[in-house]
Chain A
Amino acid sequence: MNLQQIIEKMDLTLLTQKKDFSEITPSQGYASDLLSCVMSGAPHGSLWVTLQAHTNIVAVAALLELSAIIISEGAMPDENTIKKANEEDITLLSSGLSTFSIISKLSALGIEGK
C-alpha cells in the first residue's frame, strides 16, 4: 500500500507540499507522542501517528527518515513547523480522528507494526 492510496482511503489532509506519494511505501507503522520514544523506537521509513504537533516532530522524522507523519485529533502544527517540514522534505498529514482510530484504519489497510 503506497502513501497516495493511504491518503485517499483515509481521507487525510496534506499540510505540506505535494509530491508523488505513489512512490512512497511506508515500511510499517509506529505510534507514540513522546519524541524520545520515537527517536529510539520508530523504524526507518515508517509511518508515524502522533497527536504531538510541536515543531520537533520534523527534526525527529528527518533524523529517522520516516515516510510521513499523521497528526491525529485535528492538532495543527504552526506555520513555522510546516515551513520547516517542507524544507526537510517531511510530509505532514492531518486527521480529525483519534490515534486509535487512525491505527485501526491503517491496520485494516495492511500497515503493520514491527
Chain B
Amino acid sequence: MIPPLIVQEALSQKINLIAITDHNATANIESVQKAAAGSDLIVLPGMEVQTREEVHCLCLFDTLEQAFAWQKIVDATLPDLENNTEFFGEQFIVDETGDFIRREDRLLLNSISLTFEETAQKVTELGGLFIPAHINRKAFGLIANLGLIPENVNIIALEISRHITTPDAYAVYPQVKKYPLIQNGDVHYIDEFLGSTHYQIENPSVNEITSAFLHANGRSFVILPGN
C-alpha cells in the first residue's frame, strides 16, 4: 500500500474521501495527501489509536498539525520498545511516490497508557473526532474488551466492520442502540477498499462529518452495499 496506489485504487472505486489512520502513527499521512493533490480524492489525517484497555479508536482531524499534536501525546504514552521486524514486520515511512524515507524503529502495535476516556477527551480537545473502531470485532473491539459503552464519554458515532450490517449490529449489541453506526473499510491491503458509507456534507471536515453522524443541519450519511 504505497501512496500512489492508494489514491489510484480509491478513485477507481469512486471513493472521494478517505482518512489515513495508521496504528498509533501519523508519519505517512502527508505523503498520501501529496499523492492525492490535484485529484478528486480528499485525504483526512487520522490515526487508529489503541487505548490502555486495548480498544481501537479512530481519531480524525482537519489538519496535519492537529494530528501531529495528537501524535506527540501518543509518543509520550506509548511504551518505548523497539520493533522486531522478524515478528511484527517493517514499519516504513515513504514519500508520495512510495519511495523509502526511513524506518519507524519504535514498536507501534502496543497500547498507549491513556484510558479510553482520557483518549476521547484529548482527541476532542484538539478538535478531533473520536470514533470507537470496529466495535463488533472480538479483538480490540470496544464491546469485547469493555462490555458496555462507557457512559461518561461523549461518543458521537461508533464504527462497525465490513463483516456486519447495521440492523444486525443493533440486534446483536442492544447496548449500541442509541448511537449512529458507520462502516469503514479498515483497509489494510490494496484490494480491501469498501466505500460503503456515503456522506451528504458541504466539505470534508470534522464539523461536517459530525453533523452528518447526527443527521443535523441538513447533513446526513447512509450505508450502502460496498464496492
Q: Which A residues contact B (CB, under 8 angstroms)?
A: 33-39, 52, 54-56, 59-60, 78, 80
Contacts of A54 in B (CB 8 A): 52-53, 115-116, 146, 150
Please name all residues of chain B whose beta carbon is closer than 8 Å to the beta carbon of A60 when the two chains form the complex. Answer: 147-148
Contacts of B150 in A (CB 8 A): 54-56
Say how far A60's CB is from chain B's closest CB, in angstroms: 6
B210 at the interface (CB under 8 A from A): no
16 A-B residue contacts at CB 8 Å? A33-B145, A35-B145, A35-B147, A35-B148, A36-B143, A36-B144, A37-B144, A39-B147, A52-B53, A54-B52, A56-B150, A59-B147, A59-B148, A60-B148, A78-B115, A80-B152
Instruction: Name the B residues within 8 Å of A34 (CB-CB).
Output: 144-145
Consensus secondary structure, chain A interface:
helix
**Complex: chain B residue closest to A84, CB-CB:** B152
Q: How far is the CA of A36 from the CA of B152 in the complex (A)?
A: 19
Q: Is the CB of A56 within 8 A of B148?
A: yes
Write the chain A residue with the least CB distance to B149: A56
Q: How far is the CA of A34 from the CA of B140 in the complex (A)?
A: 10
In whole angstroms, how far apart are the Cα atoms of A80 and B115 in the complex? 13
The interface residues of chain A lying within 8 Å CB-to-CB of B115 are 54, 78
The chain A residue with its CB closest to the CB of B147 is A35
Q: Which residues of B contact A33 (CB under 8 A)?
A: 145
Write the nearest CB–CB distance from A73 to chain B, whole angstroms: 12
